[in-house]
C-alpha cells in the first residue's frame, strides 16, 4: 500500500519508513525537518522508487492538501510531532501548534481527500495516530496502563499529545474517518536524537562528560526497542480494528538509574575509559512535574494481532550502545550543528 508517514525523518518515523519500504510498501515521508530530524536516518531508502520526500509543515493546510492530491495515499501514519518533554517546558506553544493544531490540519486534509475516494478505496483508507503512554499520567508503585485508563496528562508535551488523541477519536466518531490509535512506551534504539535519556547518557559518556540523572533516578519507565514499535505500528495499521486504541509496550520496566548503570556497563565493554563510566553519574535537579512510573499492559495488541516484542531490554541496550560507538559520524554531525545534550526545561522562578 502507499503510506503517507509524517515525521519520517525523526527517530521512530524513520524506523517505520525503513521497515515499510523493506516490507514492499510505497512511502511518502512528510516532514518539516525540525532540529530533531535527520535525512541520514532514511538515506538507506532515499533512492528507492518506492520512497518520496515532502518537506512540509503538518500545520500548513494548503501544503498538506497538496501532498494528498499529488500522492493519493492509501493510509496515513501520523508521527510528526514535537516530542521532548524538557523542550515543552521551555516553549509549550510550539507543542500546541504542531501536536494539536497540526494534527487537526492533517485530519481535515485527510477527511477531504477520503471523502473523494470511491467506495472500496474509502473503506480501505486508514488514519493511524501514533501517540504516547504519557497521556495517562503517572502510576504509583503498582499497576499498568491499559486501553481504558482515563487520560490524565501532567506535562505540556503529554497534554498536547492527549489533545491530538482526542481530535483523532472525534474525527472518527463525528465524521466517520477510519481511524486507529496507538499509545506506546518509551522507545530506544539507533538514530535517536541525543536529548532523550539513553542517547544523552551514551554520548556524554563517550565524550568523557558527566552523565546527568534527574532527581534520584528512581522513576520507572517501560522500554521498547524502536524496531519492535515500528513492527507493531505497521501491524495495527493493516489489521487493527477501526476506531480502536492499542497500547504498545515491551513489558520491560526499569528504574532510570538501572538503565543508566546497564548502559555504563556496556560502555565499559565497548568503549573503555580511564575510569568506569558509572563513576561519571551525577544526580541533577529533577524535571518539574516528572511522572514517577509508566507501565504498559499490551495484552490487547498481543491477543488480537499476535504482536510480541522481539528484543530483550539488556540485549537491545547493548546493541544501541554499539550503534552509537560505531556511528560517530551520525552524532558528530548533530554536535556540529550545536546540540550538546545540554540541560533544558528547568522552570525559572
Ligand atoms: P522525533 O523528535 O525524533 O521526530 C519527530 C519528527 O517530526 C521530526 O522528524 C520532525 O522534523 C517532525 N516534525 C516536527 N514538527 C513537525 C511539523 N510541524 N510538521 C511536520 N513534521 C514535523 O520524535 P520521535 O521520538 O521519533 O517521536 C515520533 C512520534 O512518536 C511522536 O508523535 C511522539 O509523540 C511519539 N512517541 C514517541 C515515543 C518515544 O519514546 N520517543 C514514545 C511514544 C510515542
Ligand 1 binding pocket (C-beta < 6 A) is 6-7, 9-13, 31-34, 36-37, 57-59, 79-83, 98, 102, 130-132, 161, 184, 186-187, 193
From the number of C-beta atoms within 10 Å of its C-beta (0-12, 13-18, 19+), residue 39 rates as: middle
From the number of C-beta atoms within 10 Å of its C-beta (0-12, 13-18, 19+), residue 265 rates as: middle
Contacts of 278 (CB under 8 A, 6+ apart): 260, 261, 264, 265, 268
Query: Strand 2-6 to strand 26-31: parallel, antiparallel, or no bridges (unpaired)?
Result: parallel
DSSP letter for each residue of 56-121: --TT-HHHHHHHHHHH--SEEEE--S---HHHHHH-HHHHIIIIIIHHHHHHHHHHHHHHTS-HHH
Instruction: Return the pLDDT at 299.
Output: 98
Does the CA dihedral 109-111-115-119 come out positive or negative?
positive
Counting ligand 1 atoms within 8 A of each CB, the residue from 19, 30, 34, 188 with the most, and so the one to mutate, is: 34
Closest ligand 1 atom to Cα of 224: 40
> How many other CB atoms are found less than 10 A from the CB of residue 90?
14
Report angle CA 61, 136, 198 to the nearest 5 degrees. 85
CA of 10 to the centre of ligand 1 (A): 6
- What tens-digit pLDDT sequence spans the chain (349 residues)? 999 999 999 999 999 999 999 999 999 999 999 999 999 999 999 999 999 999 999 999 999 999 999 999 999 999 999 999 999 999 999 999 999 999 999 999 999 999 999 999 999 999 999 999 999 999 999 999 999 999 999 999 999 999 999 999 999 999 999 999 999 999 999 999 999 999 999 999 999 999 999 999 999 999 999 999 999 999 999 999 999 999 999 999 999 999 999 999 999 999 999 999 999 999 998 888 888 899 999 999 999 999 999 999 999 999 999 999 999 999 999 999 999 888 888 876 5
Counting ligand 1 atoms within 8 A of each CB, the residue from 28, 42, 80 with the most, and so the one to mutate, is: 80
> How many other CB atoms are found less than 10 A from the CB of residue 206?
18
Q: Which residue of the set 51, 157, 188, 294 is catalytic?
A: 157
Architecture of domain 2-255+283-336 in CATH? 3-Layer(aba) Sandwich (3.40)
Is 157 annotated in the active site? yes
In whole angstroms, give the CA distance from residue 103 to residue 105. Answer: 5
Closest ligand 1 atom to Cα of 134: 43
Q: Which residues pair with 27 in a beta bridge?
A: 3, 51
CA of 273 to the centre of ligand 1 (A): 33
DSSP state of 322: H
What confidence tens digit (pLDDT) does each residue in 155-185 have? 999 999 999 999 999 999 999 999 999 999 9
Q: Which residue of the set 54, 57, 86, 134 is catalytic?
A: 134
In whole angstroms, give the CA distance from residue 13 to residue 230. Answer: 8
Closest C-alpha to ligand 1, atom 33: 83
User: Which residue is it, cell 524502536?
Assistant: 226
For the chain, give every domain's residue range.
2-255+283-336
Say how many CA atoms lie within 13 Å of 267 toward its Cβ: 27
In whole angstroms, give the CA distance from residue 266 to residue 318. Answer: 6
Instruction: Return the pLDDT at 349.
Output: 56
Amino acid at each position: 500500500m502507499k503510506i503517507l508517514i509524517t515525521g519520517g525523518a525523526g527517530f521512530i518515523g524513520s524506523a517505520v519508513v525503513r521497515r515499510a519500504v523493506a516490507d514492499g510498501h510505497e512511502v511518502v515521508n512528510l516532514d518539516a525537518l525540525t532540529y530533531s530530524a535527520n535525512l541520514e536516518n532514511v538515506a538507506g531508502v532515499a533512492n528507492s522508487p518506492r520512497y518520496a520526500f515532502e518537506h512540509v509543515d503538518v500545520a500548513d493546510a494548503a501544503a498538506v492538501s497538496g501532498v494528498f492530491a499529488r500522492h493519493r495515499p492509501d493510509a496515513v501514519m501520523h508521527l510528526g510531532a514535537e516530542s521532548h518533554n524538557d523542550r515543552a517546558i521551555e516553549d509549550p506553544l510550539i507543542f500546541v501548534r504542531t501536536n494539536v493544531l497540526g494534527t487537526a490540519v492533517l485530519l481535515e486534509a485527510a477527511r477531504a481527500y477520503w471523502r473523494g475516494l470511491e467506495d472500496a478505496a474509502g473503506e480501505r483508507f486508514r488514519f493511524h495516530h501514533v501517540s504516547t503512554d504519557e497521556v495517562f499520567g503517572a502510576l504509583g508503585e503498582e499497576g499498568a496502563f491499559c486501553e481504558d485508563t482515563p487520560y490524565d496528562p501532567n506535562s505540556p508535551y503529554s497534554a498536547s499529545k492527549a489533545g491530538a488523541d482526542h481530535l483523532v477519536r472525534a474525527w472518527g466518531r463525528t465524521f466517520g474517518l477510519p481511524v486507529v490509535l496507538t499509545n506506546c512506551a518509551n522507545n530506544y534504539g539507533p538514530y535517536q536524537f541525543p536529548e532523550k535519556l539513553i542517547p544523552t547518557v551514551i554520548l556524554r559518556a563517550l565524550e568523557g562528560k558527566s552523565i546527568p540523572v534527574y532527581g534520584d533516578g528512581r522513576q520507572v519507565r517501560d522500554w521498547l526497542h524502536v524496531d519492535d514499535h515500528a513492527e507493531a505500528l505497521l501491524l495495527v495499521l493493516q489489521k487493527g480494528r477501526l476506531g480502536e486504541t492499542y497500547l504498545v509496550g515491551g513489558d520491560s520496566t526499569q528504574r532510570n538509574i538501572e538503565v543508566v548503570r546497564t548502559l555504563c556497563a556496556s560502555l565499559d565493554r565497548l568503549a573503555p575509559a580511564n575510569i568506569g563510566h558509572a563513576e561519571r553519574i551525577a544526580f541533577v535537579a529533577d524535571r518539574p512535574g516528572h511522572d514517577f512510573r509508566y507501565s504498559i499492559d499490551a495484552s490487547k495488541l498481543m491477543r488480537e494481532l499476535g504482536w510480541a516484542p522481539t528484543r530483550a531490554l539488556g540485549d537491545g541496550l547493548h546493541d544501541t550502545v554499539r550503534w552509537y560507538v560505531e556511528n560517530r559520524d551520525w552524532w558528530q554531525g548533530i554536535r556540529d550543528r550545536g546540540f550538546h545534550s545540554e540541560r533544558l526545561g528547568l522552570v525559572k522562578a
